[in-house]
């Protein structure tokens, strides 16, 4: 379905998996699924708190990212060596790993100290929808509804 095309909701599901199952069922029945869309309705921001963040954790997170960046940069610079580029890449990657770990740990602690205690926790933030609507272009909506009515419920107990 292209942007600006008139459509209507033909089914609504509480989970994305159920909406996906419905579209897959239509696809199995040779319905032109390119004329459908799954639209999340009632979007909300969801932040799962993963733990308390202290200096040790800030240093560990900084060290991990610093080590990865340092190793990558060292490896790339080592590849440009005219004499034994493979050996140079490995050695510079190891040195980059060590130096990146130290610099990353220090920057992680400094960054945590600069927050002044305003965010002493770590988290993972995502967006989620309250419902998932399957929409079809107007000229095929009735056909899609008929086909969905014949579709067996999702095996894990999901329902339309």
pLDDT (0 to 100) of residue 3: 65
Percent of the chain with pLDDT over 70: 94
Long-range contacts (CB closer than 8 Å, 24 or more residues apart) made by 154-159: 154/17, 154/18, 154/21, 156/17, 158/13, 158/15, 158/17, 158/18, 158/21, 159/18
Rounded-to-integer distance, Cα 85 and Cα 92, Å: 10
Kindly report, residue by residue over 68-118, the tens digit of the pLDDT: 999 999 999 888 887 788 888 999 999 999 999 999 999 999 999 998 878
Domain boundaries, the chain: 7-43+129-149, 47-124
Rounded-to-integer distance, Cα 111 and Cα 120, Å: 12
pTM over 0.95: no
pLDDT tops 70 at residue 158? no
Least confident of 58-62, 105-109, 121-125: 121-125
Kindly report, residue by residue over 26-45, the tens digit of the pLDDT: 999 999 999 999 999 999 99
pLDDT tops 70 at residue 160? no
Q: Are 160 and 9 in contact (CB under 8 A)?
A: no
């Amino acid at each position: 379905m292209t942007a600006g095309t008139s459509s209507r909701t033909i089914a609504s599901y509480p989970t994305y998996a159920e909406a996906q199952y419905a579209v897959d069922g239509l696809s199995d029945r040779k319905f032109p699924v390119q004329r459908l869309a799954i639209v999340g309705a009632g979007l909300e921001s969801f932040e799962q708190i993963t733990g308390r963040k202290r200096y040790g954790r800030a240093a560990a997170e900084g060290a991990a990212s610093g080590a990865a960046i340092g190793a990558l940069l060292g490896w790339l610079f080592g590849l440009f060596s005219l004499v034994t580029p493979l050996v140079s890449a490995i050695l510079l990657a190891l040195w980059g790993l060590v130096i990146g770990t130290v610099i990353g740990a220090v920057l992680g602690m400094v960054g945590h100290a600069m927050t002044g205690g305003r965010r002493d926790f770590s988290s993972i933030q995502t967006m989620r929808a309250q419902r998932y609507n399957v929409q079809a272009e107007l000229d095929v909506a009735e056909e899609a509804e008929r086909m969905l009515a014949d579709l067996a419920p999702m095996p894990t107990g999901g329902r339309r």
